[in-house]
Amino acid sequence: MTQYVIRRVLAIIPVLFGISVLVFGLVHLIPGDVAQILLGTQATDQQLATLRRTFGLDRPLPIQYVDWLSHVLVGDFGVSFRTDRPVLPDLVQRFGVTLQLTLVSMLIALAVAIPLGAASAANRGKLSDGLSRVIALLGLSIPNFWLGTLLILFVSLVLHWLPPVGFVSLLDNPWLGIQTLILPALALGTAVAAFIMRMVRSSLLEVLRQDYIRTAHAKGLREFTVLYRHALKNAFIPVLTVIGVQVGYLLGGAVIIESIFSLPGMGRFLLDSISNRDYSIVQGGVLFIALIFCLVNLSVDLVYGWLDPRIRYE
């Protein structure tokens, strides 16, 4: 197992390097001169040159990259061009909101997807199976930003059941927090629930054909016990990989959902920074999300290797 962990961790290093190059390259290719944007059209050449020197923007790009990366490696993501505040604390604070949204979305998705997917597989070919498959396909097809708008319209504005926008941290006030997060989490988690449901169904159908399941049936075990204690446990291994990939979808989708529900998370922060040409925040934020996504996938790989020893020896 140790060798497997080392192999996986080493494999992620070139990817992380590639991510850093891509993020830096993308951000520095964005059209528009930061100094000009910050100082306005009235600024003199002298003022522009001074500002560029202050932020190190007058140096060649490879030097800027090495300088930026060496600071990032020690946790220094630079300062915002606009507010002069350090980027990392702001990113961490905003990420707290996105993390809460992502976690609640994933919990909702799992709570819906696992029982529905299991029931669908257990009743393969029956009406309930067909119905579950159609619901899953609808869930995959509904745009999350449209679902969010509809939820605000009907649940908040028409029925007045939940607040339409705003955010209260779950850590400060769990009851109020869940009220502000439930609609965005539903909008964000629906497609994920549908995806996981389909995966649980197909994976469970594979497992239900195995000999040991037939043995369990032959021993006279109840259907529920066979399904949930024997089959689902093994069917869950490929589902785990899908869950890892879906974390990326949730982090990306949060960009849109946060702007609809006015949540002060990472996504909205990034969108605002793109329009403000705040390079440091865009650079740090995109890198931060990509790192989190990589680490989640690495963790999934490690758990996968732990659950299924065959993977470790491939």
Partner 1 sequence: MAGSTRASATNNLQRFLRNGIGMVGAIIVLGTIVLAVAAPVIAPYGAEETHPNWKLYPPNEYFLMGTDEFGRDILSRILFGAQISLEVGIISVAIALIVGGASGLLAGFRGGWLDGVIMRCMDVLFAFPAILLAIGIMAVLGTGNILNAMLAIGIVYAPSFARLARASVLSLKEMEFVQAARVLGQPEMRILARHIVPNILAPMTVQISFALSTAILTEAALSFLGLGTPPSVPSWGSMLSASRRYVELDPWPAIFPGLAIMLLVLGFNLFGDGLRDVLDPRLRAGD
| Ranges within 158-187 binding partner 1 (CB under 8 A) | none
Residue of the chain from 152, 188, 207, 231 that contacts partner 1 (CB under 8 A): 152
Query: Is residue 63 close enough to count as binding partner 1 by CB under 8 A?
Result: no
Whose CA is closest to 197, among 291, 273, 121, 93? Answer: 121
Whose CA is closest to 116, among 132, 138, 101? Answer: 132
* Angle (CA) 107 108 111, round 5°: 85
Residue of the chain from 151, 170, 281, 286 that contacts partner 1 (CB under 8 A): 286
Query: Is residue 294 close enough to count as binding partner 1 by CB under 8 A?
Result: yes
* Residue for token pair 């925040």: 281
Residue of the chain from 199, 282, 301, 304 that contacts partner 1 (CB under 8 A): 282
Residue of the chain from 45, 74, 141, 219 that contacts partner 1 (CB under 8 A): 141
Binding region for partner 1 (CB under 8 A) out of 13-21, 58-66, 171-179, 231-239:
13-21
Distance CA 254, CA 105 (A): 10
Residues 6+ apart with CB under 8 A from 101: 181, 184, 185, 188, 250, 254, 257, 258, 263, 265
Residue of the chain from 2, 3, 31, 60 that contacts partner 1 (CB under 8 A): 31
Query: Is residue 146 close enough to count as binding partner 1 by CB under 8 A?
Result: yes
Q: How far is the CB of 293 from partner 1 (least distance, A)?
A: 6
Tokens of 104: 């609640």
DSSP label of 165:
S
Query: Is residue 255 close enough to count as binding partner 1 by CB under 8 A?
Result: yes
CB 170 within 8 A of CB 213: no
Residues found near partner 1 in the complex (CB under 8 A) = 14-15, 18-19, 22-23, 26-27, 29-31, 137-138, 140-146, 149-150, 152-153, 157, 209, 248-249, 251-253, 255-256, 259-260, 270-271, 274, 282, 286, 289-290, 293-294, 297
